[in-house]
Amino acid sequence: MTAFVKVATTGELAPGQAKQVEVGGKTIALFNVGGCYHAIDDTCTHDGGPLSEGEIEGSTVTCPWHGAKFNVTNGEVIRPPARVAAPCYRVRVNGSDIEVEP
């Protein structure tokens, strides 16, 4: 079992914001949705766009390249052109540290 890894602090990521983090050789998009933190792969499954740079509305992120939409809480595709969900990662808050399990 892989251990959780600190990737940020709660003070670094305001609600409605995203941040690109590296964990275990993976590039992950970390999101703050109303004070709850979620992590999915930072690479759009359609054409590789950086999801951490996309527009966030509620729990939805829009890929900045071609407009695919993903649910940041589970990686599921909400709107094409992406057809495959983005991998999702477990997140926990330990004090003020945000940790991701790769």
pLDDT of residue 24: 87
Give the total number of structural domains in the chain: 1
* 50-66 pLDDT, tens digit each: 999 999 999 999 999 99
Q: 100: pLDDT confidence band, cut at 50, 70 and 90? A: very high
Q: 11: pLDDT confidence band, cut at 50, 70 and 90? A: very high
Tokens of 43: 């690479």
pLDDT of residue 1: 56
* 32-53 pLDDT, tens digit each: 999 999 999 999 999 999 999 9
* Residue in 22, 29, 27 with CA at minimum distance from that of residue 5: 22
List Cα–Cα distances, 81 to 14, 67, 85, in angstroms: 29, 7, 11
Q: Give SS3 for 94.
A: strand
pTM of the model: 0.95
Q: What is the CATH number of the domain that holds 9?
A: 2.102.10.10
Q: 83: pLDDT confidence band, cut at 50, 70 and 90? A: very high
For residue 81, the enclosing domain spans: 5-101
Question: For the chain, how long is the longest CA-to-CA vector?
Answer: 39
